Structure 1
Amino acid sequence: MLSDLKLMYTDLGKTALTAAVVNDLSCWCLLVVAVSLINGEKELYVAIPVLVGMTIFWFSLRPLIRKILRYISATSKEATTSDKHIYFILSLVFLSGFVTELCGAHSIFGAFMFGLMIPGGELGTTIMDKVEEFVVGILLPPIFLITGTRTNIQYIFADYSVGLVIAVVLLASSAKIISALLVCLYLKCPVRDGLALGVLMNTKGVLALIILNEGRNMKGFDQQTFSWIVVAIAFMTAIVGPIVSYTHKSERHLKYMDRHLEKCKTEAPIRILACVHSTRNLSAMITLLEISNATRKSPVIVFAVHLVELAGRASAMLIFHDKDKTADTGQTCSREKAEAEQIVSAFESFEDNNHGATVKPLTAVSPYATMHEDVNHFALDKIANIILIPFHRRSDPVGGWTEENVQHKLVNQNLLATSPCSIGLLVDRGLSSFAESQKGTQHECRIAMLFVEGTDDREALAYAWRMAGTPSVTLSVIRFVPGKDGSEFMENSGDNEEEPDIFTAMFERETQKQLDDDYINQFRFKTMHDQSIAYVEIQVNSGDQIVSAISSEFYDFDLYVVGRGHGSTSQLTAGLSTWSEFPELGVMGETLISMNLETPASVLVVQQSHPVSSGSKKFTSNSTKDVFGNKGVPAFVNHRKSVDGF
């Protein structure tokens, strides 16, 4: 349930899961006592050997299993989880159940306790892979069949009124909800968190049905009580999804007001969600983080997410990595696990080398079709300022492309369409070489920010501005402004619009133009004495002139930072967007990677997402028609650098 609601890795999800484990273990102990009393003709001492046996198993058998695994790993060249080892473990399951049965309790308790003793990691995963299909596909359906045949709705109202039955079901369903809500209120937690926690604690699964059927087999209650409990369980589980979705999915994006980089100060801490699919994306992503100016004065909190395709599991999951936790020497690392450890180790090295950076690595296992939902919910929960993702194609040494991953392209497109915060798409064409050269000699990383217009460009400028504070990084901001012909064309294009939309479009153009000018002026004023930052304005009338200016004057850079311009219809770049192969890069981004520059440069495409009204499925900035496009003419045009003032 937590995985389906995308709450597994949130504070609420971890609290609910921990509380559920403690609650279920307590219920197991009470159930052992109850079953022992029934089987032992209401003599309490029958439960004592069961509890003593479980305690002995936990403190003796669990360490013994770990020692056996270490011994096999040290003496055998084959994998520690071969078929004979799995069969030996499964034999111990039946032995544990048999011992528990001799003590007077049901064999299910012994099997459950033995499952808790199995060390986590490769052994547990292999056992699940071996038995999960058999249990879920063959043994589980008859459980539901028996439960369904034993449930008779007519017995619910046999000797009682409908009102009394409804009252009992509601009381049974609200007990945990009310108690959890009261505890959360006492601890001064939000009311919606307390309500959601109580509802989640009320979730019932297969285990509840198994225990219910076992109680019916022992004649612990009659048919009417059995039907009452089944209806209550069905009602409890049915209300979990809608209530938690209402309390935690609606209006969660509203916390992102003023969380964009444009709204933050250059020295303010930022929270970055950096996503990688494999080690091939690792070097460039870490290089981008290294030039993001992580200092003690302006710290950077990085949530490093390794995106892994879901395979062999029923639901998605998120794995948090603890760098202080030592690895289990009794397990043989698979290729996937070795790659994950390599990614975690690389990000931890980045943290060690940058005292202003804090890294929290994790692995997200999810289907590609819904992977963007996990990333978005994690960004919401951690209040990330920006999400960084790699481009779905890899470049070769000569500037071409070697391969394309369609699934990664789908994830990127979904993230760009639904991201609750700003998002940066990195096209790596040699950016990692900057980090390698930095280790030996001082290498200057030259960054160019190409500013056209709109919120995406302002967000891109904000990120580039922050990177300019990194030593050995120079930033050139090139703003393209319309010339005389371009200004007249933009004015005429506004006159061609329908009458009801003329004034709205004019107002939006002027508003966005004013925002662009204000932000540029603020940037120039604060960087006028910074020798590592240059500012240039170029008059252009078409997209061809933009390409010509880049090819002739601004072609020698290591990284270009541009805005995606989603929802934009700028007349300056209209001629460049007649045919698009990579719409996720925007007009300027796709133009840069298609140009035949002497040295192919990496490109960072930035998109600023805007919170929308509650209940909307997407977080986009295209809430009104042509909100970015058709800007007016800037108030001044020059070619002076920022060191000269303005």
Structure 2
Amino acid sequence: MVNASSSPSSLLVCEDNDGYPVFALGMEVSCILVLSHFFHLILKPLGLPGPIAQMLAGLVLGPSGLSQIKAVRKYFFIHDATDNYQSMAMFSRIIFMFLIGLEMDIPYLFRSLRPAAGIAFGGGVVCSIFAVAISPFMYRQTGDHEDKFTFALILMLLIANTASPVVIRLAAELNLATSDVGRLAISSSLINDISCLLVVALMTVLGGDGGKVWERIRGGIFSIMVLGVVVILNQHLARWLNQRNRKRKYLKNAEVFCILSVVLATCMFIELMGYNSISACFFIGMMFPREGKTARTLLHKLTYPVHNFILPIYFGFTGFQADITHLKSFHHIIVIVLVVLLSMGGKISGTLAACHYFKIPLKEGVVLAFLLNLKGHVDILIICVALQKHRWSPAIYNVLIVTIVINTTVVGPAVTFLLRKEREAMAFREIGLEWQNPESELRVLACVHCPRHVSTMVGVINAVSSGSHKAPITPYLVHLIELTEKSSTNLMYHQLESNELSDEEDYGGNDVLEINDAVDDFIMETGIMIRQISAVSPVASIYEDVCNVAEDIRASIILLPFHKHHRIDGNMEKGKEGIRATNQKVLRHSPCSAAILIDRGLRAPPQVPAGSDTGQHIVSLFFGGPDDREALAFSSRLAMHPDVHLTVTRFLLAPRKEHLGFDIASNKDEEVLMAISSDEAQNEVDEAFLGNFYNRYVMSGQVRYVEKYVENGAGTVAMLSEMGKMYSLFVVGKGGRRLSPLTAGMSNWEECPELGSVGDLLASSDFAISSSVLVIQQQRHPRKEIIDDEL
């Protein structure tokens, strides 16, 4: 008991401060945060990710480091505070796993379930074989006298497990989270982690006498029922909160607290029932409704604190558990080396074998193998279960904890080294749609400056989504917000989000609310999940944000809005000139294909009965060249939509020689004729691509194919004018084609060179058509760096 007359300040530093563990807990957490950021600053130039620095901070602060100092241990690292730190790490894990489930790419998880499961179980099976082989030796080292089968099972789980939270965070730190190898590693680690937790749960249920077994089974069934009720409750709660906050950008803090309280209460109930809540909180997050303000608010409110406060505490706790002072025996060192080597060897051999079966490249397989070697909280949980059920010595417990920390701190730098070595081979190089499989994933980055652009952009996204898993689409929508000179001298963007007195006019204002509502309505109607991003920059450099986001998400194509908008009278009115400058710079520096969309009222394809001819009619124009091939490849995605009727119109020169004459200077005639005769290779590429397209789509009846013969540029203009009222959308390449009589003279009055000659003609107010136009440019060379050059 503490003397009542003592002051609070004296109690904080008194010798017997067991009554005030909160102070010690605060000191531990503060030291973890400070040390983890310090180590991260030192290790970041070496390429080592944050989780490694945070584990090292826990190791330095734990029993192996500062806790050995008597004054530190006396005042700050008391037993109760350490127990509270363990509880805080558990809460951190709950919130983090809920966020992982909320951010999980569920469509990709289902698409990649077979290879992800194969890789997860491939490494796990080989590790289990190795574990069984060394279990007799380890059994003697632990001095265990219980069931040998249970001991071997625990060792198998310990060596085979992969820590999914560490893999997810490490992949994000190394910019792998959006790559194929990174997403496959995340999916495989989740499958491995949850499988090991299920085995641990079965061990917990089946352990003990018969009466307790049935009691635990009943508790498990009741926990599953509670989990199902909470999932259903979240569905209704999220919809109600979305309706309640229609005129707000985000939910109130009290409402966010209510949702998190439900999640924490559910997970704590499952913990009290004797089961681990990692899978439960992940499942709650994964099943949480993604559309609307509720999910958007949770992502906005949780991302920053989780990555900067919760994760350092969580990963620091793993390092905090290790105590290398007990490694005084040569046998202990042998155990550590043996377990680490067998774990790494089993994961590498099993993962590479599975990758070979699924035809994954060797370089990606090696990175996958090392990523799946990471250990974490579930391994500690397995050791704790073993310690409770078996009479292991504390020394062996610490030895196994040290193996977990060493395994992760060795694998992290190894992955970084591999990525540095293979940076060129594994860097983002988005090849054109022309060379991609039409059924591969299409990652679209749609840019909007204001709510006016949203309906058209989501219309294109809907049209290009086939509605089947055969041609998946992952759309992103980035809101480009101009950072004005006035607003840049005030608060930063992230500060304005939490300051109710701030003027958000220059940071999106009501535009953000309208854009969010339009996206939410689209998601509700179509079921296509659009991920939203905000980019706030000065107008001169906002193109850098577009290119950087496209590279981060590994986009296949960037959709840009035209700087003019359609008026009621049919004319095109100029908007902000900064939009045009941004489009021009993006076209020059884009890491992937890019397209400018001229909107004349394009909407999403209507829902019509199968076989009806009243859907959306789209035409793809083909003159020849790489950009037109890219436009045709993009059009093939449109053709897969059941409510889209695509027509491909190829323009060809009339066969008679006298039709080669056109109304331009004679010297240009000669240039054109020379270009025609010297471009046979390009013609062959065009013919081969068109041939494949014809056999795949036209022969099957999916696409209508038309050839138009014209004599010169004037004939092309007349033909396009006739087609203007037949289609709602024209898709055409920007240019990149040879000099051709088909377009000769059309660039003499060119107003917007970034659209090319045909696109500029179709976008002109003088050209009386009411169709929208999509002008596509193929990305020809990888972008090495972005330079800020003036146009």
> TM tier, shorter chain?
0.5 to 0.7
Corresponding position of 1:60: 225
**1:173 correspondence with 2:351:** no
Residue by residue over 1:7-65, the C-alpha shift from the partner in whole angstroms, topping out at 9 and shown as x without a partner, is 7678766654444233223444566799999xxxx989999699658614532312333
- 3-state SS of 1:202 partner: coil
C-alpha separation in 1, matches of 2:687 and 2:359? 44
**1:401 correspondence with 2:573:** yes
> Residue type matched to 2:565 in 1?
S
Corresponding position of 1:182: 353
Corresponding position of 1:636: none
Please state how far the C-alpha of 1:269 moved relative to its aligned partner. Answer: 9.1
C-alpha separation in 2, matches of 1:467 and 1:133? 38
- Structure 1 residues 584 and 241: CA distance shift in structure 2, 3 A: farther
- Structure 1 residues 97 and 608: CA distance shift in structure 2, 3 A: closer
What are the residue-to-residue correspondences of 1:5-404 with 2, within 5 Å? 16-28=185-197, 52=217, 55-66=220-231, 68=233, 78=244, 87=257, 109-110=276-277, 113=280, 116-117=283-284, 119-121=287-289, 133-134=304-305, 136-142=307-313, 169-185=340-356, 194-204=365-375, 219=394, 221=396, 226-240=401-415, 243=418, 250=425, 259=434, 276=446, 279-282=454-457, 285=460, 303-309=472-478, 339-340=518-519, 342-343=521-522, 361-365=528-532, 369=545, 370-373=548-551, 376=554, 379=556, 387=557, 389-393=559-563, 395-397=565-567, 398-401=570-573, 403=575
Corresponding position of 1:515: 682
Residue by residue over 1:592-627, the C-alpha shift from the partner in whole angstroms, topping out at 9 and shown as x without a partner, is 5356334465433233445x7xxx5579xxxxxxxx
> Residue type matched to 1:121 in 2?
P
CA RMSD of aligned residues (A): 6.8
- 3-state SS of 2:475 partner: strand
- Structure 1 residues 170 and 147: CA distance shift in structure 2, 3 A: same
Task: Give the count of matched residue pairs.
Answer: 528
Residue by residue over 1:281-317, the C-alpha shift from the partner in whole angstroms, topping out at 9 and shown as x without a partner, is 1586389769xxx9xxxx9976454323499xx9xxx
C-alpha separation in 1, matches of 2:329 and 2:742? 78
Higher alpha-carbon deviation: 172-181 or 145-154: 145-154
Instruction: Give the TM-score normalised by structure 1.
Output: 0.55
Instruction: Give the TM-score normalised by structure 2.
Output: 0.47
- Structure 1 residues 228 and 408: CA distance shift in structure 2, 3 A: farther
Corresponding position of 2:651: 477
- Structure 1 residues 155 and 185: CA distance shift in structure 2, 3 A: same
- Structure 1 residues 362 and 246: CA distance shift in structure 2, 3 A: farther
**1:536 correspondence with 2:710:** yes
> Residue type matched to 1:515 in 2?
Q
Residue by residue over 1:248-292, the C-alpha shift from the partner in whole angstroms, topping out at 9 and shown as x without a partner, is 98389999799459xx9xxx99997776566521586389769xx
> Residue type matched to 1:605 in 2?
V
- Structure 1 residues 21 and 165: CA distance shift in structure 2, 3 A: closer
- Structure 1 residues 573 and 593: CA distance shift in structure 2, 3 A: same
C-alpha separation in 2, matches of 1:412 and 1:182? 47
C-alpha separation in 1, matches of 2:637 and 2:260? 57
Which consecutive unaligned segments of at least 5 residues does structure 1 have? 315-333, 349-360, 380-386, 494-505, 539-545, 620-646
- Structure 1 residues 104 and 408: CA distance shift in structure 2, 3 A: farther
C-alpha separation in 2, matches of 1:155 and 1:481? 90
Residue by residue over 1:325-379, the C-alpha shift from the partner in whole angstroms, topping out at 9 and shown as x without a partner, is xxxxxxxxx987764465457768xxxxxxxxxxxx45345566344236646x5
C-alpha separation in 1, matches of 2:232 and 2:631? 55
Native 8 Å contact 1:371 1:411 kept in 2: no
- 3-state SS of 2:369 partner: helix
Please state how far the C-alpha of 1:404 moved relative to its aligned partner. Answer: 5.5
Identity %, equivalent residues: 20
**Greater helix content:** 2
- Structure 1 residues 413 and 5: CA distance shift in structure 2, 3 A: farther
- Structure 1 residues 490 and 481: CA distance shift in structure 2, 3 A: closer
Corresponding position of 1:597: 767
> Residue type matched to 1:534 in 2?
K
> Residue type matched to 1:400 in 2?
M
Corresponding position of 1:329: none
> Residue type matched to 1:281 in 2?
T
Please state how far the C-alpha of 1:457 moved relative to its aligned partner. Answer: 4.8
